[in-house]
Structures are given as C-alpha cells and as structure tokens.
Amino acid sequence: MTDTRALHASVRSLAATQRYEGLDALRAAAMLLGLAYHATYAYVPDVGPWYPVVDPSSSPFFASLAGALHAFRMHVFFALAGFFSHLLLERRGVAGFLADRARRLLVPFAVAVPLTWVADIGARALSQRAGLMDTAYAPGTGLRLMPVHLWFLEYLFLFCATAAALWRMRLGLPARLLRRALAFPEALALMAVPTGALLATCGALKPDTSFVPQAGTFAVMGLFYAFGFALWAARDAAGVLSRRGSWMAPAGLLLAAWLYTRPLQWEPLGVALGAGVAWLVTLGSLGGALRMKSATGPVVRLLVDASYWVYLVHYPLVMVFQVLVARAPWSPGLKYLMVVASVTSFALATYVLLVRGSWLMPYLAARRAAPPLKAA
C-alpha cells in the first residue's frame, strides 16, 4: 500500500511540474487577441456613441471582426485559467494558491486600474482635441470609475477563491463525467446549449462597466473556468480531444465569419450560435495546444512572457495610436494594422525595458519557472 501511494504521489508530482508549452502559447494568444479586438472599435461604422475615437474611415468588416473575436477569446482564456488553477492548487495547496492568485491578480488590479483611469482620461482628451470624439459619446473626457478592460482580473480571482473553497470537497464527480465525455469529444460542443440559455436569459454581458460582479458574466465565464478546472483532473483522457477535435476550431471560426456578418447575431438563434462558436473554438484550440510539445523561438517566447503586461497596458495606448493615424490618407484596414503593430511593439519594448528581469516579474510576467515541489 505504501509503495502504491508513493507511486501515485510521484505521478502527481511529475504532472505538477510539467510545462504545458502549447497551453501557455494559447493563453498568450487569447491575451493578445484582446488588443486586436479593442483596436477594431474606431473603424466600426456608427460607433460614435459607444467609443471615444471615431476614425473618418470605417468598414463593416471591423464590426464583424469585433463580433467574431468577442465570441470566443475570453472564453478560451477562462477555460485555460481553470486548467492552470487546478494545477496550482495541487502544487501549492489552498493557502499557497490564494497567495499566488492575490499577488498575480489583485495586486496588478489594484495598481493598474487607477493608472488606467488617468491614461484613459488623457487618451479621450486627445481624441476630443483632435475632433475625433462624437458628440453623442456621453462619458466625454470625465473620470470613469469602472474596471474597463481589467474586469477579468476581478472575476478570475473570484473564480479562484470559489475553487479553493470547494477544493476540500475533492470534486471527483465532474472529472469522472468529463473523462467519460472525452471518449466522444464532439458531444462536448453541446455545452453550447446551457451557455446559450444563460446568454439569452442574461442579455449582453458588460462586466467592464461596474466593479459589482454581474450574474450573467459570472455564470457564463464561470462555466468555461469550471470546464478547464475539470479538464486538469481528466487530463489523462484529453488525448482524444487532441486527435479528434482538430475540426472544431476551424468550424467555430467559419461559423463566426458567417454569423457576425448578419443581423441574425442579435436574435435568439444567433445568440445560441454564438455560444456554439465559443465552445467549438475553445475545445478545438485546447486540443491543438495540448498537441504542441514546445513553443520555441525567441519571438514566441517573448510574446508568451509579455502577453499579460501587453494586455494590462494596451487599452489607452490603442486609443492614442488610433488618434495619431486618424488623419492619414489610408484605408481603415491599413490604419488598423498600423495601430495593432505599433501598440504591440511599444508594449513589448516597455516590457523588455521595465519588467523583464526586474522585481516586477513575479507580478506581471506570464511565464515563470516551476518552483521545487515540497515532499509529498
């Protein structure tokens, strides 16, 4: 019996120290897609009442691109967050897990939110002086006491605290059910049904507008977090998702490309199909990432390491660069690419100069070396 327990402890220790390079890269991609998503706003037709920078040129393409990206990027992120949360709970225990999450989520949240308010006011004032702010944009240049793009840090910590509170219950049943479902991974796409029902019930999710957690966002994103949390416990059966789920992400992206060019997206059927997009892309991208053995190359490593920092600082920068290129005689597509490339380059440069190798690394770097495990 002692030998068996020692063997199981060794297996758990080996799993806890394993580096999931593909999942790290996917998490970075989900973060960086946030920049690509927010950069679309200035080029969406008739966006004036909802966004402070209105470029003189626009295209319906950017409305479709924004809808498609919004349909899955944070869902993928929260599923990955659940997966890595379970890993950290096994590695560090409840106290160590919560201390790590407080350092990595609450501290950046507390510091970055007020700094974002200041930068946001400056960026909106710049837009107004340049004549790019629509008169219908109600917030104007005043202070906006809201989490803006940093809302995910608050929700993620709440999910982590909930997971830690339930940890002592040893949630074996969800893992066993998921392990059985993974024998036929296509059936997991049916998770779109409860997700669509939640979205239809709760309406549009606007977690960036209030510090008070919203029930709809908590339920929908919590469902993806819970899936990822259970997937870690069922990871020994996840290989079939890698082998048979390769069609899911392309199918989800094609569905998004079709759906978000049509008014159907605003109807109940469109909302349900949007939930299908979220699950297809999440399942397919997770399967693909699990197949990836390593994320090599200096550029990929830098993007993975810096992705958290890039997301934290990008939002006001996007507005500033949108203002800077607004009067250029370029197509909206070229302006968009210039904004994305410029903001990404600037944010990466500040990461290299200010964060990498500094005391900020434990708070802001996406990748960290696995600490030594305590004896089981």
Q: What is the pLDDT of residues 114-148, one digit of tens each?
A: 999 999 999 999 999 999 999 999 888 888 999 99
pLDDT along the chain (376 residues), means of 10: 42 52 92 97 96 96 97 97 94 94 96 96 96 91 92 97 83 71 87 92 88 95 94 86 90 97 94 96 94 76 94 97 96 97 97 93 69 34
Can you give the pTM of this predicted structure? 0.91
Cα–Cα distance for residue pair 69/84, rounded to 1 Å:
23
Nearest to 163, CA basis, from 104, 261, 90: 90
- Checking 371-376 for CB contacts under 8 A at 24+ apart, the result is 373/13, 373/16, 373/17, 373/91, 376/6, 376/9, 376/10, 376/12, 376/13
* 207: enclosing H helix or E strand: none
Mean of the per-residue pLDDT values for the chain?
Answer: 89
Structure tokens of 288?
């693909």
